[in-house]
Amino acid sequence: MAILVIDVGTSGVRAAMVGPDATVLIERSRESLPVSPAPGLVEFDASHMAAVALDVAGEVLALCDEPAEAVGIANQRASTVVWDRATGEPVGPGLGWQDLRTVGDCLTLQGDGIRLAPNQSATKLAWLLDTHDPHRQRDLCFGTIDTWITWVLTGGAVHVTDPTNAAVTGLLDVRRSPWLTPSTSQTATGPWNETVLGRLNINPDMLPALVDTSGTVGVASALAGAPPICALVGDQQASMVGQGIVAPGPAKITFGTGGMLNMVVGPDGPHSAQRHSGGTFPIVAWRHGSDVLWGVEAIMLSAGTNVEWLRDDLGPHRQTWPTPTTWPHAATPPEA
């Protein structure tokens, strides 16, 4: 028995076959970098990202002696994709979670009592709609990366997300609880925040259904053997589980593209979705049936991307310090 894990990060895609004792049997990765067409803008090609995910997943399946019994998807969170429901083609660039083009929109919304952050999905989705469907006449789908990759793997048959991803979109109000359990009745918009949807002119029909973090959601018909997809989880929550942060007490920090500090709080939800004075904000650690575990997170936008900048951008332009023999009237280098 083996599980196929697909990890769609900000800088690349990794796939691995994992055995029942958590041993990594086969692992492959491909770089898939976003682009920054202007300061503060972070975009990616969603179709290319999906193709890379299919490629690395297919490679590890072909190399492993055992078939995949299930598929789990971990992913960068809040990055936003909008695509045509009939064709499956993205209508514009994917907007990365680091993208800050909607800072002004977020400030304007504060005047209406709506507090959203530009690194959440809500205003990114509104920007894509205003740009590519201003009259809201097209039949479009919205998704974070878990939703998009699941859609591709299932051939467009499944349009879902899980609470670890949905709760950082800005489209859910964590103070309300109708979305916490699948059996609880929900409003006409489903689990989504009616106030935010109305203010941003977002049709709830384009939003995914909310499913458990772990549990079968569909069949990955695009992969050999058509294994079931049995887990969707944001990358930081996946990292928490992987490092044993499953109860209040310990914390972990991950330095990937960005830097994220996470802790588990417990089963009691927060009183507010807003950032705490200490710099953390609430997240859903996971949901399984009626069991919901909450956590907190602190985030820095750039960590590994700083190293990539040093490698790719600064290199040709770095300053060469003079040798000691050229320092005028000094036997030692100047102090920094």
Residue 318: the pLDDT is: 54
Residue 258: the pLDDT is: 79
Q: What is the DSSP letter of 325?
A: G
Whether the CB-CB separation of 185 and 306 falls below 8 Å is answered with: no
Residue 273: the pLDDT is: 61
Q: What is the DSSP letter of 33?
A: -
pLDDT in tens, the chain (336 residues): 899 999 999 989 999 999 999 999 999 999 999 999 999 999 999 999 999 999 999 999 999 999 999 999 999 999 999 999 999 999 999 999 999 999 999 999 999 999 999 999 999 999 999 999 999 999 999 999 999 999 999 999 999 999 999 999 999 866 655 455 554 434 456 689 999 999 999 999 999 999 999 999 999 999 999 999 999 999 999 999 989 999 999 999 988 777 888 999 998 877 666 666 677 888 999 999 878 899 999 888 778 777 878 888 776 555 554 544 444 444 444 443
Residue 254: the pLDDT is: 85
Residue 238: the pLDDT is: 94
Tell me the pTM. 0.86
Question: Domains in the chain, please, with CATH?
Answer: 2-247 (3.30.420.40)
Helix, strand, coil distribution of the chain in percent, nearest 5: 25, 30, 45
CA distances from 186 to 176, 189, 290 (A): 11, 8, 15
3-state secondary structure of 148: helix
3-state secondary structure string, 241-297?
HHCCCCCCCCEEEEECCCEEEEEEEECCCCCCCCCCCCCCEEEEEEEECCEEEEEEE
Whether the CB-CB separation of 160 and 209 falls below 8 Å is answered with: yes
Residue 32: the pLDDT is: 94
Q: Say how far apart CA 35 and CA 95 lie, in whole Å.
A: 10
Supply 213's token pair.
């973090």
Residue 200: the pLDDT is: 98
Residue 317: the pLDDT is: 56
Supply 194's token pair.
């009616």
Pairing mode of beta strands 81-84, 140-143:
antiparallel
